[in-house]
Structure 1
Amino acid sequence: MTSAVAFGVPAEAFVLVIYKERRSVGTSTSVTRHSILAFRTPDGREYRIDEQNGLRRAVGDRVGVRYLPERPDRAVTVDHGTLEDTICVAVGALLILGGLVGVIITLGHLPPRPPIVIPQWRH
């Protein structure tokens, strides 16, 4: 897989179908997003891959893929999702950073605590 990313032939794939797969184990349920991608090799053959990385895609989206010439059926995507995914991650990171800055500022402005006086016992 990493050799396809590093040394593979680049191609442009299109999202043909999107579906979700639900799996239940006991009381927990997980949902995996799938995208069926199609691309053509220079000799005109069409290949389809089932992408299961959970990225949000829409039918018709263009997706960069790379494949080894001897195994085009094992193509891998080389993009990292849509602009929407990037914006969500950036906003989340900014919110976390803002919260940390707020905590640090609040801790820096707290009044000093008075010393703790421990009464001494006299016999």
Structure 2
Amino acid sequence: MDAAFGWVFGVVGVLFAAMGIAVLIYTARKVSERRRILREGLVAEASCLETFVVHHSSQGHGQSQRRLILGFQTPDGRDVRAEVVSDVPHVIGDIVPVRYLPQRPERALPAGAASGIGSGPILIGAVMVFFTCIGLFVAATGFGTAASMR
């Protein structure tokens, strides 16, 4: 019975580590895509179709994020709508320069967006590295216990 518990403990650790690695990969891909859009993306003049504020709050602390719905047309005539986060206040009808990749114009970004990584992805990365290490430690402990019980 103890060996089976060790195997289950080890598998749970591997799942934790796999989940941590998956989130790390997802975050790295998002950061890479953002940098590529800002570096290589085509430029378009988008019109502000809608503007709204999203409030996030947890444990009494709140954070607001200004979002815009932008509309523009690609050179091939395709109408595109993109929801973007903006640090600059805009009103409906404003012209906002955007950058986008031709294969995914709906992921456009304001042309003046910061190209740095930001603290969010760095914090997520650090937490996921810690999460992965804990998962690997739990897996090694579980599998080691199971092997020693045999």
Q: TM-score range by the shorter chain?
A: 0.5 to 0.7
- Using the TM superposition, name which of 8-17 and 23-32 deviates more: 23-32
Q: Is residue 27 of structure 1 aligned with residue 27 of structure 2? A: no
Q: In the alignment, which of 55, 75, 83 is matched to residue 88 of structure 2?
A: 55
Distance 2:88 2:81 in 1: 17
User: Per residue, is there more strand in 1 or in 2?
Assistant: 1
* Structure of greater Rg: 1
Q: In 2, are the aligned partners of 1:22 and 1:32 still within 8 Å (CA)?
A: yes
Aligned residue number for residue 16 of structure 1:
49
Aligned residue number for residue 78 of structure 1:
111
Aligned residue number for residue 79 of structure 2:
46
Amino acid at match of 2:87: G
Which stretches in structure 1 are left out of the alignment for 5+ residues?
81-123
User: Per residue, is there more helix in 1 or in 2?
Assistant: 2
Distance 2:54 2:40 in 1: 31
Q: In 1, are the aligned partners of 2:46 and 2:71 still within 8 Å (CA)?
A: yes
Shift, 1:70, TM fit = 1.4
Give RMSD over aligned pairs.
1.5
Aligned residues between the structures? 80
- Using the TM superposition, name which of 31-40 and 51-60 deviates more: 51-60
Q: In 2, are the aligned partners of 1:36 and 1:50 still within 8 Å (CA)?
A: yes
TM-score (norm 2): 0.49
Which stretches in structure 2 are left out of the alignment for 5+ residues?
1-33, 114-150
Q: In 2, are the aligned partners of 1:22 and 1:29 still within 8 Å (CA)?
A: yes
Shift, 1:11, TM fit = 0.7
* Alpha-carbon displacement from aligned partner over 1:62-92 (angstroms, at most 9, x marks no partner): 1111111112122111136xxxxxxxxxxxx
Q: Which runs of 4+ in 1 moved over 3 A?
A: none
* Alpha-carbon displacement from aligned partner over 1:84-113 (angstroms, at most 9, x marks no partner): xxxxxxxxxxxxxxxxxxxxxxxxxxxxxx
Distance 1:52 1:9 in 2: 19
TM-score (norm 1): 0.59
Shift, 1:31, TM fit = 1.4
Amino acid at match of 2:81: R
